Structure 1
Amino acid sequence: MQIARISLESGPRYAIVDHDSDEYVVLAGDPIFQGLDTTGQRVPRKGTRVLSPVIPRSKVVAVGRNYAAHIEEMGSEEPATPLLFFKPNTSVIGPDDFIIQPSWSQEIAYEAELAIVIGRPCKDVPPARVPEVIYGYTIANDVTARDIQREEPQWSRAKGFDTSCPLGPVIDLDFDPTDVSIQSRVNGELRQDSRTSLMIRGVTELVSYISHSFSLLPGDVILTGTPEGVGTLQSGDVVEIEIEGLGVLSNEVRTN
């Protein structure tokens, strides 16, 4: 089952994606907190604006250097433990929203990533119980001010600026993240082409480790790292992130 968040005249609403009828089945409330009761309303998928499928209520936790080939291309070393950083919820945008390059950066980059959506409050989760706390999966683009990342010892500005975390288009509740294709394209040109099975640390290890570091809350999002092939973006570029089974997340770049 896939859940989308859509824009209707009455405001943002959550909906089940009905692939058979090519319609959205509107839900009564936020499915993470209120379940999957429907209103009976159906709207066509065509022409309906899709929003970010989740706005994290507390945080986005991101993982750096989690693909060996990406570590090599960046001239870095594999971290002894998962490398973690935060992106604020103000960085989140949805499909087709503009990525706005900040005035203080001259070099922003795309990073295709699988994203985990947390479904229940949790702390110190043992690996065997990780599936119980995951609500589903979506696509993320960890947009990075690469020049600022090189210049500053911490990554808060480089990774956390407004519009730096596109998410979407759906949350898939039944998704198997073990071994699927992950790609990025810029203006239709393939830039990244890898598989989630090449992550150094998989979903189970990451969620368990992060939950031992700090509490996770419903709607929190975890970004699992990017494969090799990252590169810079210019104003007017359209970057697409595609993960097999989750669809395509597309955003255009604009200057501030």
Structure 2
Amino acid sequence: MYKIARAGLALSVLLLGQAACAAPAPDLNAIVKAVMEDQYGKQYDAKHACWSYTHTTEQGDDLTYCMQPGKPELVDTAKGKQLFVYAANAYDIHDDNRYSYGQTDPGLMGAFQVSIDAKGAWTFVAMDSAMEFGSNGYCGCNKAGLVKLSNQGDYGWLFVSGGAFQGKVVADYSIVMPRQGGFVDVSRIPQTKSGEQDVTYDLKVTERPGAGLFPLLVTKTRAKAKVEDLTVNFDPKKYAYQLPGAK
């Protein structure tokens, strides 16, 4: 009986020791804050809960954006825990003229991937603080969803951006994923084209076994009636997905 009791006590001590040595869960909110301050400085706008950031657009205009982090996503990969978090500028601020935009002004997205070690320390794997999308200061990236793109640990954000021009809606899918320490948009798939206002393309990623990026299933509809399903494979030479026949 004494031996059994001692064995039970030893097991309890062992389990307690293992629990004490277990790695604590990383503080994702603290990491996100550190990432935002690293990329956008300490210009925090407490009134609007964002980081105020001035960006020179591709058109050469200096615009100020109110950058807000999206939901952080922690994934397990062959290289350990990876945290994906994006930032999108607020587009609905009406009490501060710094955050007002014209029709041709893009919205802004920041994209970040960080590696987290067993002690909770993090380092950048890929980053881009200022990717331009959309119009009227709206990037569409505030609705981005993280999607799995391969069996090798590739992930990216899927969303739609665009605008209305001369009474016609133009919208495109974006798939923003890491590449060589930065981020790239690998989608050239439209949702709505200027010359085909009654045509819509719906897109989803289709998982499959094997190596390489997953194909996309693109469903074309006209006047809400299904026309066809298209399987669009990733083109490594163009480093993009695009519809057959598209230039």
TM-score normalised to structure 2 length = 0.26
- Rg larger in structure: 2
TM-score normalised to structure 1 length = 0.26
Greater relative contact order structure (CA < 8 Å, 6+ sep)? 1
